[in-house]
């Protein structure tokens, strides 16, 4: 499964956030494929459509899609003094598919800030700079090798060109993601750390949650990365409550959605994932696929035999199914489409696959 690595300077609230994530974790029993490790939090992707489907189909249970977060500890001791990041830390970042930096904007005189003051932009730069330097190091080793390989016609010139373009961007102090180079397939193939998508979690307090002007400023600075504003301490209390109580607490706090739910949604999207839905008396379920996947690929997520023996898919959009009130009514209204092997899945497709065994 794709994972999002959580990083951040000390004392910004990483552990607090990560503890909240692990407490919000899905039941491992329902997800036999998910390896549950101490530094991994597998949280449900909130999807209100599943409850609607479960009601329509009288499903016994609901199985949402999940998003995996990895706590990448051992951060940047001395990064700001130029000692750089530990190798273990970098290796962990290389394994993650997206990077989520927790940044502190809550003011609390009792919690020491590593740089002596609350400075979210400075904190972001410290980590970006370290990752940029590590990528530059990688490229400085790779480019001479690529030059030889291109001369010997063992490597396509585009690969070398991508490495040189990436180097030029990094030398200006920008991450490849911020420079928009992460969409370039040749650059992405270099597997550099700063071409991974970034998400920023700003750990804030009530004042910060209410300060939309400040939020807009920070959003503009970190774009194209997504920004989430949450109170990690509040989130860690929220996950302890029953759903009804949690909703009340959120409302009392002027929020419509828990920060962890936002983080799960944004993280899932950032990973380039989407879901399709299945429903029946046993379960209403969301299945995770990559954006752009075809119907047989999507079927393969349920079972490889579904992909191999794929015949067709009956697809009803969630909205049409809810309008019609049942699969039979949707069929009668001509809203059930029969799609073949070239069909590209759309978000919210409710699907039944037909296959040969
Ligand atoms: P880490 O070093 O980044 O993992 O940070 P921790 O999660 O251990 O948090 C450091 C300290 O800040 C702890 O004492 C937390 O209780 C406190 N803390 C974390 N989040 C918040 C927050 O949103 N508001 C306040 N006031 N304190 C927080």
Share of the chain above pLDDT 70, in %: 93
Task: Output the CA torsion 192→196→202→203 (10° steps).
Answer: -80
In the 3-class helix/strand/coil scheme, how is 300-347 assigned residue by residue?
HHHCHHHHHCEEEEEEEEHHHHHHHCCHHHHHHCCCCEEECCCCECCC
Stretch 88-111: mean pLDDT, rounded? 87
pLDDT: which is higher, 114 or 269? 269
For the CA of 108, the nearest atom of ligand 1: 26
> Could you tell me the distance, in angstroms and rounded to a whole number, from the CA of residue 248 to the centre of ligand 1?
24
Question: Residue 116 has which token pair?
Answer: 């002596």
> Could you tell me the distance, in angstroms and rounded to a whole number, from the CA of residue 131 to the centre of ligand 1?
24
Task: Reply yes or no: is the peptide bond before residue 224 cis, omega within 30 of 0.
Answer: yes
- Confidence class for position 81, pLDDT limits 50, 70, 90: very low
- Say how many CA atoms lie within 13 Å of 79 toward its Cβ: 28
Sign of CA dihedral 174, 175, 177, 180: positive
For residue 249, the tally of other CB atoms under 10 A from its CB is 15
Is the ipTM of this structure higher than 0.85? yes
Stretch 219-244: mean pLDDT, rounded? 94
14 belongs to an annotated ligand binding site: yes
Cβ–Cβ < 8 Å for 218, 202: yes
Give the per-residue pLDDT at 188.
Answer: 92
Stretch 5-9: mean pLDDT, rounded? 93
> Could you tell me the distance, in angstroms and rounded to a whole number, from the CA of residue 337 to the centre of ligand 1?
51
> Could you tell me the distance, in angstroms and rounded to a whole number, from the CA of residue 101 to the centre of ligand 1?
14
- Which has the closest alpha carbon to 273: 72, 63, 100, 65? 65
**What are the pLDDT digits (tens) for 294-337?**
999 999 999 998 899 999 999 999 999 999 999 999 999 999 99
256 belongs to an annotated ligand binding site: no
Q: Which long-range contacts (CB under 8 A, 24 or more apart) does 114-121 make?
A: 114/9, 114/10, 114/11, 114/80, 115/9, 115/80, 120/202, 120/218, 121/218, 121/221
In order of start, what are the domains of the chain with their CATH numbers? Answer: 292-355 (3.10.20.30)
Question: Residue 206 has which token pair?
Answer: 């009530």
Give the per-residue pLDDT at 91.
Answer: 84
> Could you tell me the distance, in angstroms and rounded to a whole number, from the CA of residue 13 to the centre of ligand 1?
4
13 belongs to an annotated ligand binding site: yes
Sign of CA dihedral 72, 78, 81, 87: negative
> What share of residues in the chain are helix, strand, coil (percent, to 5)?
45, 20, 35
Residue to mutate, 22, 73, 75, 108, ligand 1, most ligand atoms under 8 Å from C-beta: 108
Report helix angle 212-222 to 120-151, nearest 10: 10
Integer Cα distance of 271 and 335 in angstroms: 31
For the CA of 234, the nearest atom of ligand 1: 23
- Which has the closest alpha carbon to 327: 50, 56, 58? 56
Angle subtended at Cα 105 by Cα 103 and Cα 111, rounded to the nearest 5 degrees: 95
Give the per-residue pLDDT at 76.
Answer: 53
11 belongs to an annotated ligand binding site: yes
Give the per-residue pLDDT at 80.
Answer: 41
Residues in contact with ligand 1 by the CB-under-6-Å rule are 8, 10-16, 106, 108, 111, 203, 205, 231-233
Stretch 99-121: mean pLDDT, rounded? 81
- Which has the closest alpha carbon to 100: 233, 325, 262, 333? 262
**What are the pLDDT digits (tens) for 278-294?**
999 999 999 999 999 99
For the CA of 9, the nearest atom of ligand 1: 3
């Amino acid at each position: 499964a794709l994972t999002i690595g959580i990083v951040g300077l000390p004392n910004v609230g990483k552990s607090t956030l990560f503890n909240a994530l692990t407490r919000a974790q899905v039941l491992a029993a329902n997800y036999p494929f998910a390896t549950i490790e101490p530094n991994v939090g597998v949280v449900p992707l909130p999807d209100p459509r599943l409850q609607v489907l479960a009601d329509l189909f009288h499903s016994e249970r609901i199985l949402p899609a999940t998003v995996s977060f990895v706590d990448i500890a051992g951060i940047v001791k001395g990064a700001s003094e130029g000692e750089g990041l530990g190798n273990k830390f970098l290796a962990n970042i290389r394994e993650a598919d997206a990077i989520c930096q927790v940044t502190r904007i809550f003011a609390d005189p009792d919690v020491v800030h590593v740089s002596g003051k609350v400075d979210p932009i400075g904190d972001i730069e410290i980590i970006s700079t370290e990752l940029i330097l590590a990528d530059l190091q990688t490229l400085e080793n790779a480019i001479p090798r690529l030059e030889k390989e291109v001369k010997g016609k063992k490597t396509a010139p585009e690969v070398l060109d991508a490495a040189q373009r990436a180097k030029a961007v990094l030398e200006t102090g920008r991450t490849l993601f911020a420079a928009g180079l992460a969409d370039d397939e040749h650059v992405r193939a270099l597997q550099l750390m700063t071409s991974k998508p970034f998400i920023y979690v700003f750990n804030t307090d009530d004042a910060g949650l209410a300060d939309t002007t400040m939020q807009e400023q920070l959003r503009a600075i970190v774009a194209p990365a997504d920004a989430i504003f949450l109170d990690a301490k509040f989130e860690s209390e929220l996950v302890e409550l029953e759903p009804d109580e949690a909703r009340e607490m959120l409302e009392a706090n002027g929020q419509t959605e828990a920060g962890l739910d936002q983080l799960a949604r944004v993280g899932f999207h950032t990973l380039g994932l989407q879901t399709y839905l299945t429903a029946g008396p046993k379960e209403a379920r969301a299945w995770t696929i990559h954006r752009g996947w075809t119907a047989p690929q999507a079927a393969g997520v349920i079972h490889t035999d579904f992909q191999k023996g794929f015949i067709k898919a009956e697809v009803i959009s969630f909205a049409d199914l809810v309008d019609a009130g049942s699969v039979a009514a949707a069929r009668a209204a001509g809203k059930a489409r029969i799609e073949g092997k070239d069909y590209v899945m759309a978000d919210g497709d409710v699907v039944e696959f037909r296959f040969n065994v």
